[in-house]
Amino acid sequence: MSVSLSRSARRARTALAVVAAVAVAAGCAQIPTSGPVQPGDVTVAEPGPIFLQVYGPALDASPQEIVQDFLSAQAAGLYEDWETAREYLAADTAASWEPGTSTVVYSGDTDLTQVSGPDPDATSVVTEPSDEGTDASTADPADEAESDVAVVRGRLSVVATLDAAGRFTEAPADAAENFTFSLEQQEDSQWRITGVEDVTYISVPIFSSVYRATTLYFPTLDGEYLVPEVRWYSKSNTATYAVNGLLAGPSEWLRDAVRTVAPDGTSLVLDAVTVDESGVARVDLTRDLLSTDAGDRAMLQAQFEAVLLRVPQVRSVNILVNSVPLTVDETAEPVRDPIPAASPWVLAGDVLSRVQGRAVEPVAGIAPLTDLDPTALALDVSGESGVLRSGQTSIRTLPTTADSSVTLLTGTDLLAPSIDRFGWVWTGERETGAGLQAVSRGGTSVPVMVDWLAGRAIESVRVSHEGARVVVVSSTDGATYIDVAAVIRDESGVPQRLSDSVTIGAGVQGASQAVWIDESTVGVLAEGASAGVSTVNVVPISGRTETLSGGDAAATIAAGRGLRSIYVATAAGDLLSRASTGATWSTIASDVQLPTFPG
């Protein structure tokens, strides 16, 4: 039997009042889709305070009502340590429940069914058949109506999951989760939950209103760049969560490609970062920090500023040790989210050209690619030179007016190349199990070990601008995967292997190419809803995928930095961009192909 509560009844029993100075939507973290493309940080305006008010159990609520209202009460958990939600639990269960262990973000309504226990009208009872197959209809309803145990089951559509450290994992489009709650009547005859998992269930609108995507930064091993890792934290005390996240270090997959500057054991003295009215964030750390040298202190200052200055209301950062200001005698200036060239290169006929607005101008110093059969391009970080894939079988340097093209690597069915900031050209064979390779400008080739690619064919590889991560599109048994992994190098910067991966874009089907849109987002070219067409998907490493409107005729994709820097080339030779409107594609050039940015 399924008993559905009316919407008005739910509101009456477990009212969720959201009082905000601005609309909840203003608090959602999204990629901007309008405005000019500019370098530099964006100052995020903090919406007014959001107060979530929830209520404890109603008197004589049924088991199903208790479960429904318990799920609703979880919305305010981050602000009150789930105090109200615990009121729906039996005393022992409330004491042992650890809701922060895992969070399930869901869409739509929860579908609840009471599968055992008393009928809400107390005229009959719902029981599950016993293992021996006893006919429940033979039981005495008068006896069963007094049952003091009940089971409520539910099902919901899962959008994402969040672990205790704030790591966000997007769920496939059709993902669903079943859950079961056991309840017992207490001595006061009120129903309370006795069986519950260490999970919090929260709807998409509430998640958007109480959580914030927060980027942690860790320096590369050479200290030249900052590598991002996005976590989702409470909006009410983001700065404290962020500092604790930095001190705990990066996730395991990223750990070997970055530095953790603060010494092991370093923590906040009072487990709180205070932000005063003038926007000064006070980070008071334990004495462990005094063991660092001048260079590490400077890097730590840069790291904290890169993270905290992007938190609304924070204007400056003061680091202290046991309430005494930390002396920082040096300055570290690692680059965050490097900006590639402002416009892409394209191939116009056999001439490499640069897109300037709606004009296409030949690149000075690059010779025509006559007879080289270019099928893919890659530019180095300077945006001045690069390589091409000739047919499918060789990677060659671009010819210049001074030097002819030189073959760096030959193969059978090579991937489109990507060049990292150390000058290594990444490619590999598409063949299942063939793996990845990196080749130097001098022609030295090294295999890049990747355990998780065993049994997969590789479709695309692209190294991030800071050179610490790579996005790989691969396939097996008709399914495609989009994975981000860290690049593990030797002391000379030579790629050795990839770390375990983080799989992103769970809802993207038929992916064929991936490029970096910004430091934490990739653009993925994939199959559309109709056969023979493609779509452009914006896939955050930690967030929900968005499919851009239009662009169904795309054959290849390129991106600089930001949504307005995305270009697609059609099979017919049209170059499309969203730069002019930010919302729709427009043709800016014709008779061109292979749009390419550095990387």
> Of 559, 542, 456, 537, which is closest to residue 498 (Cα–Cα)?
456
Tell me the average pLDDT across 453-481.
Answer: 95
Exposure class string for 66-80: b at 16+ Cβ within 10 A, else e: bbbbbbbbbbbbbbe
Residue ranges covered by each domain of the chain:
7-16+54-198, 211-336, 345-596
Tell me the average pLDDT across 292-302.
Answer: 96
Q: For residue 211, what are the CA distances in angstroms to 78, 201, 214, 254, 488?
A: 9, 14, 9, 23, 32
CB contact at 8 A, 558 and 515: yes
pLDDT for 418 beyond 70: yes
More confident residue, 339 or 129: 339
Tell me the average pLDDT across 386-411.
Answer: 96
Give the pLDDT of residue 531: 63
pLDDT for 144 beyond 80: no
CA–CA distance, 47 with 313 (Å, rounded to integer): 10
Give the N- to C-terminal CA distance of the chain in Å, as an integer: 59
pLDDT category at 527 given cuts 50, 70, 90 is confident
Phi, psi at 247, each rounded to 5°: -70, -30
Give the pLDDT of residue 120: 57
pLDDT for 33 beyond 60: no
> Of 250, 201, 220, 214, which is closest to residue 102 (Cα–Cα)?
201
pLDDT for 554 beyond 60: yes
Give the pLDDT of residue 54: 85
pLDDT category at 160 given cuts 50, 70, 90 is very high
Of 87-91, 133-137, 474-478, 555-559, the range with the lowest mean pLDDT is 133-137
Tell me the average pLDDT across 328-343.
Answer: 89
Average model confidence (pLDDT) for the chain?
87
> Of 86, 65, 68, which is closest to residue 76 (Cα–Cα)?
86
Is the pTM here over 0.85, yes or no?
yes
pLDDT for 121 beyond 70: no
pLDDT category at 532 given cuts 50, 70, 90 is low
Q: For residue 508, what are the CA distances in angstroms to 4, 459, 519?
A: 34, 14, 20
Give the pLDDT of residue 51: 58
Overall size of the chain counted in residues:
599
Tell me the average pLDDT across 342-365.
Answer: 93
Give the pLDDT of residue 10: 42
Beta strands in 261-414 (DSSP E): 274-275, 280-285, 316-321, 324-325, 335-336, 345-348, 351-356, 359-362, 374-379, 386-390, 394-397, 407-410
Give the pLDDT of residue 529: 66
Give the pLDDT of residue 40: 42
Mind listing the pLDDT tens digit for each residue in 196-250?
Answer: 999 999 999 999 999 999 999 999 999 999 999 999 999 989 999 999 999 999 9
Give the pLDDT of residue 432: 87
pLDDT category at 31 given cuts 50, 70, 90 is very low
Tell me the average pLDDT across 96-122.
Answer: 87
Supply the DSSP symbol for 133.
-
CATH for 345-596, among 2.130.10.10, 3.50.50.60, 2.120.10.30, 3.40.47.10? 2.120.10.30
More confident residue, 19 or 375: 375
Any residues with CB less than 8 A from the CB of 478 and at least 6 apart, and which?
A: none
Supply the DSSP symbol for 120.
T
Task: Report CA 549 to chain centroid distance, whole Å.
Answer: 21
CATH for 7-16+54-198, among 2.60.120, 2.30.29, 3.30.70, 3.10.450? 3.10.450
Tell me the average pLDDT across 114-139.
Answer: 50
Give the pLDDT of residue 37: 39
